[in-house]
Amino acid sequence: VLKGVSFTVASGEHVAIVGPSGSGKSTITALMLRFYDPTNGTITLDDVNLKRLNPDNLRAQLGLVSQEPVLFDGTISDNIRYGRLNATQAEINEAARKAEAWQFICALPEGMRTRVGDRGLQLSGGQKQRVAIARAVIRDPSVMIFDEATSALDTKHEVEVQRAIDTASQGVTTITIAHRLSTVRNADRIIVLESGEIVEEGSPEELLNNKDGKFYRMYNDQKFDSLAVDKLAVNPRERSKVSLAAHFSMTPTDFIDAETYRRAWARSSLGAHKRLGKSYSVLSIDRAKLALPVMSKKRTRMDTPFKTNIMEVAMDDKDYDEQTSFPGRTTNFNAIWNLIKSYKDGYTHLSVAIPVTILRGFFFLLICFEVSSVLEIALASNEETAQQVFITAAVYTALIIIKTMFEAVGRLFIALYGHGFCGYLRNKMFRKILRHGAAYFDEEANTPGRLVHKLMSDTATLNRTLGDKLDLLLPAVICSTASVTIALLINWKLALICGFQFPAFFIFRLVELRETSKRQRQMAEQEKKAANVWLNFQTIFF
């Protein structure tokens, strides 16, 4: 809750707002962006109440860099272009230079075309922040807002990002929300908040000279080396003029009552963020949706978790080493076969499931032979028709009952085998994971959560694959082989003539499978884009 907060930010001025957690810093950011409106008091831009401004027009004049920048699974160039969709590549490159991101981008193998991954997982924290700064710079905003942009970074990345912030904020009205005082050393004026109230205000040098002030106590607590106040000698009025003068002001009053603030806080974007300023984008939803590129990524042979984890489990303990995959040592078939042989407790289930499944394949042939009985009914005399119908119906009923029993028994033992095999495989995978060195768990792809996901999903995938092959593929192969053999024995000439349809059938089936797979990939990409947008919604209250 903000109480009696009133301050003005002049055009071209750099104002920092500092204070302990919960003092209302990010609430001010949310109010300026109109993520919700104050119940009392006003916020103005160039003497115009924000409530009278169109939200899209307002946010088009603002550049925001938050603590957790929102990056989409596309290229670096695409993510910077989200700031202004009609930006040219030359303008994107210039924005990257201003954000101190050009050097690390050029060092990447694909440069601007490097994919950042889902939520920017392929980039470090400092790199993500500099890409976010470049996205804000390319908007050419009147006001830049940095909402604790360096609070989640280590010292090295903090210095890099702070240098980018200083470069990007030159000649632009800048508001910095900070908890670390090392990030506000270049501010023209510092506002200190505590419990929703302004307790101090002044230049960094003035606040440091006040030994009894809140800022001085915070400075001593954080113990950063120097404030470098000598860098503040440049008069802010001498800075280059901004293209569009910006002037923020807040009138002194109680902005939000406690209950309204609590409800807005609890209902913020999907309930996933504890702070309003933690993860949001100033892009409108329509713009973000239209700007998302068509994404495609070809997977390599050894790219799936199944092949980099299941194959490793198939190796004996004596062959174990610290590698995460074993390309060239064994094929997928050999790896799976070794796993099946090693699970000796499942031999009993397989000894029942396999013969029953083979017999199921022959039942299709028996049903086909009974088709001739149906044709004989049409040729039978009136006296024999009723008897022939009864016999044919009885045979079909018996075959269906027997086939159902065989399917139930076969699938039961396949399920029992799969359940035991899945548990056995998870146990072996878990033992292998525990034998990795400490450096293995430091990698981003090997966090505990991801390893648990692989442990559960990979084994279940293999279990489903084996179950489907045993339950569906084996009866189909038995039935096809027996059918072709019998056809050739009865009338090989007619069988060969009919056999010409099989190549065409397989070709059409292959084309169908490829098109289906292509459509599924396209749908997955569209779903991923929709999820990226949906996860970064920000709930707005009016």
Boundary residue ending a domain (232, 259, 291): 291
Are residues 140 and 280 both part of a single domain? Answer: yes
- Do 180 and 37 sit in the same domain of this protein? yes
Domain boundary among 257, 291, 325: 291
395 with 453, same domain: the answer is yes
Locate 37 and state its tokens.
């409106």
Q: What is the pLDDT of residue 155?
A: 67
- Residue 82 sits in the same domain as residue 108: yes
Residue at 122 is within a domain: yes
> 447 versus 205: which is more confidently predicted?
205
Query: pLDDT over 70 for what percent of the chain?
Result: 76
What pLDDT sits at residue 539? 56
- Domain of 141, in residue numbers: 8-291
Among 58, 64, 16, 527, residue whose Cα is nearest residue 280 = 64
**Range 106-113 average pLDDT:** 86
Residues 30 and 78 in one domain: yes
Residues 350 and 277 in one domain: no
Q: Which of 541, 33, 450, 517 is nearest to 298 (CA)?
A: 517
519: number of Cβ within 10 Å: 10
Segment 213-224 shows an average pLDDT of: 75
Please give the backbone phi and psi of residue 324, each rounded to the nearest 5 degrees, phi first. Answer: -95, -15
376 token code pair? 């004989």
What does the pLDDT read at residue 274? 35
* Cα distance between residue 63 and residue 492, in whole Å: 78
CA dist., res. 212 & res. 217, Å (int)? 8
Mean pLDDT of 38-47: 84
What is the mean predicted confidence (pLDDT) over 475-480?
Answer: 84
pLDDT, mean over the chain: 73
Note whether residue 479 is domain-resident. yes
Among 110-119, 306-315, 521-530, name the most confident range: 110-119
Q: Is residue 3 part of a domain?
A: no
Q: Does residue 529 lie in a domain region?
A: no
Could you give the number of structural domains in the chain? 2
Q: Quickly state the pLDDT bin for 223 (edges 50, 70, 90).
A: low
- 376 versus 312: the higher-pLDDT residue is 376
> Is 510 part of a structural domain of the chain?
no
Do 349 and 386 share a domain, yes or no? yes
- Sign of the C-alpha dihedral, residues 254, 258, 263, 267? positive
Residue 56's pLDDT is what?
81
Based on the fold, state whether residues 393 and 259 are members of the same structural domain: no
Query: Ranked by mean pLDDT, which of 119-128, 406-415, 464-473 comes out on top?
Result: 406-415
Among 291, 324, 355, residue at a domain's last position = 291
Q: What is the mean pLDDT of residues 44-70?
A: 83
The pLDDT of residue 246: 41
344 has pLDDT over 80: yes
pLDDT at residue number 426: 85
User: Which residue is listed with tokens 């994404």?
Assistant: 295
Give yes or no: residues 335 and 477 share one domain: yes
Query: 4: which 2 tokens?
Result: 């009696």
Residues linked to residue 192 through DSSP beta bridges, in sequence order: 18, 200
pLDDT at 314: 45
Give residue 172's pLDDT: 84
CATH number of the domain encompassing residue 196: 3.40.50.300
**Average pLDDT of the residues in 275-296:** 33
Where is pLDDT greater, at 113 or 263? 113
Asked whether the predicted pLDDT for residue 280 surpasses 70, the reply is no
The answer on pLDDT for 294 being more than 60 is no
Above 50 in pLDDT, residue 261?
no
Q: Is 97 a residue whose pLDDT tops 60?
A: yes
> Per-residue confidence at 536, pLDDT binned at 50, 70, 90?
low
Query: Residue 249: is its pLDDT beyond 60?
Result: no
| Residue 127 clears pLDDT 50, i.e. is over it | yes
Q: Do 270 and 327 belong to one domain?
A: no
What is the pLDDT averaged over residues 469-484? Answer: 82
Compute the C-alpha angle 428/334/354, nearest 5°. 85
Residue 124 burial (C-beta neighbours within 10 Å; 0-12, 13-18, 19+): middle
Q: Write the pLDDT tens digit of every residue in 322-335.
A: 333 333 334 466 77
Angle value at C-alpha 478, between 476 and 482, nearest 5 degrees: 120
Residue 64 forms beta bridges with which residues?
145
Q: Is the pLDDT of residue 263 over 60?
A: no
Res. 398: pLDDT tops 80 = yes
Residues 280 and 333 in one domain: no
298 domain residue, yes or no: no
Which whole number is the average pLDDT over 351-373?
81
Residue 65 located in a structural domain: yes
CATH code of residue 391: 1.20.1560.10
Q: Report how far residue 446's alpha carbon sits from residue 455's, in angstroms, rounded to the nearest whole number.
A: 11
Q: Which pLDDT belongs to residue 210? A: 82
Burial of residue 3, with CB atoms counted within 10 A of its CB: 0-12 exposed, 13-18 middle, 19 or more buried: middle
The mean pLDDT value for 206-227 works out to: 73
pLDDT for the residue numbered 272: 35
Compute CA 407 distance to the chain's CA centroid, rounded to the nearest angstrom. Answer: 41
Token digits for 313? 């489990």
Asked if residue 299 has pLDDT above 70, the reply is no
Interval 52-76 mean pLDDT: 82
Q: Are residues 279 and 334 in the same domain?
A: no
Higher pLDDT, 206 or 179: 206
236 assigned to some structural domain: yes
pTM above 0.85, yes or no: no
Output the pLDDT for position 540: 53
Percent of the residues in the chain that have a pLDDT greater than 90, as a whole number:
0
So what's the pLDDT on residue 307? 35
**Predicted pLDDT at 357:** 86
pLDDT at residue 506 tops 50:
yes
Residue predicted with more confidence, 276 or 101: 101
Output the six-digit token pair for 88.
């040219």
E strand intervals along 74-219: 143-147, 173-178, 189-194, 197-202
